[in-house]
Structure 1
Amino acid sequence: MANAASGMAVHDDCKLKFLELKAKRTYRFIVFKIEEKQKQVIVEKLGEPAQSYEDFTASLPADECRYAVYDFDFVTAENCQKSRIFFIAWCPDISRVRSKMIYASSKDRFKRELDGIQVELQATDPTEMGLDVIRSRAS
């Protein structure tokens, strides 16, 4: 079913992989890409559970928009092990205007397809999604 706002469909694989990340913790992160020709959101990259946040940020292109989900583990002040699922809308300032518009108009519907997002982050440069930002938003 295509999104009325942008005409983008969400590939079933996106939801499937997200459920695996959420329920089974099969992945540390997932990077999603909009395929303009196919008019759909697809899975571009899957991060292994052992991969770090640096691996995740390195997998985002410097000049193109992406959606991403990151499973962030942390320890609370009470010493409890917790995890938060972050949805990150990555739209670098240097990406194409058309691309930014498509990602912006498709974001809300795509996010609704992924049930279980706990924190949303919008980033236009790496400092806006640094580990310090993630930590402060997680707790």
Structure 2
Amino acid sequence: MASGVVVDDGVVKAYEEIKVHHTGEVMSDRLKLVMFRLSDDDRSIIVDEESTLRMKDVSNEDDVFKKLVSMFPLKDCRYALYDCCYRTKETDKEDLVFIMWAPDEAPLKKKMLYASSKGALRKKLQGLKIEWQVNDIADAKDTSVLIEKLGSRGSIKELEGKTV
């Protein structure tokens, strides 16, 4: 915890909710995207309630990935957990992707605070395999970097229902 920022209990609760799919759970109520931000006093990492999406929030979207990218603020940093659905040559898959959003337009002090607090957050979110750092909205709109992190362009056939 190099930055001294603590992780709020609500963050861990949101992680457990997006990570574990319970028997009998209604698919449309499952979390698709959860964003985390620094509190107003920069002392803790909290759930950004305004930037949380459930499956039902994206069910009528033509491009789910585009909708997710549009949720990131252009001039501020965020952390996010994204429940990514994709298809390989062999099977349908679902993985949690940890995203650190630190756009070039964000204030330097904020970017440094987010970068130095990431370790504390990652310790609370055990078991994440895929991490994606995005520093430019253009990078987020291009799915090729994410596809490489998921496997490779040759093995991934669909991302969020769209052929790649």
Tell me the alpha carbon deviations over residues 23-71 of structure 1, each in whole angstroms, 9 at most, x when there is no partner.
Answer: 0272001111011515100010211124222221111100101111111
| Distance in structure 2 (CA, Å) of the matches to 1:98 and 1:125 | 17
- In structure 2, the residue matched to 1:16 is 13
- In structure 2, the residue matched to 1:120 is 131
Please tell me whether Structure 1 or Structure 2 has the larger radius of gyration of its CA atoms: 2
Q: Structure 2 residue aligned with 1:137, among 149, 152, 160?
A: 149
| Distance in structure 2 (CA, Å) of the matches to 1:28 and 1:133 | 20
Runs of 4+ in 1 over 3 A off after TM superposition: none
Contact 1:73 1:84 in 2 (8 A): yes
Alpha-carbon offset, residue 137 of structure 1 = 1.5
Alpha-carbon offset, residue 127 of structure 1 = 2.8
One-letter amino acid matched to 1:41:
I
- In structure 1, the residue matched to 2:92 is 81
Tell me the alpha carbon deviations over residues 66-109 of structure 1, each in whole angstroms, 9 at most, x when there is no partner.
Answer: 1111111111112x011111111100011101101100100122
Tell me the alpha carbon deviations over residues 112-139 of structure 1, each in whole angstroms, 9 at most, x when there is no partner.
Answer: 2112312111111023233232222112
- In structure 1, the residue matched to 2:111 is 100
Q: Helix, strand or coil for the counterpart of 1:28?
A: strand
- In structure 2, the residue matched to 1:63 is 75
One-letter amino acid matched to 2:32:
R
- The count of residues paired between Structure 1 and Structure 2 equals 135
RMSD: 1.5
| Distance in structure 2 (CA, Å) of the matches to 1:61 and 1:38 | 17
| Distance in structure 1 (CA, Å) of the matches to 2:13 and 2:102 | 24
1:30 has 2:34 as partner: yes
One-letter amino acid matched to 1:112:
K
Q: Helix, strand or coil for the counterpart of 2:99?
A: strand
Contact 2:6 2:120 in 1 (8 A): no
Contact 1:85 1:116 in 2 (8 A): no
Structure 1, unaligned runs of 5 or more:
none
User: Structure 1 length as normaliser, TM-score?
Assistant: 0.89
Tell me the percent identity.
Answer: 28
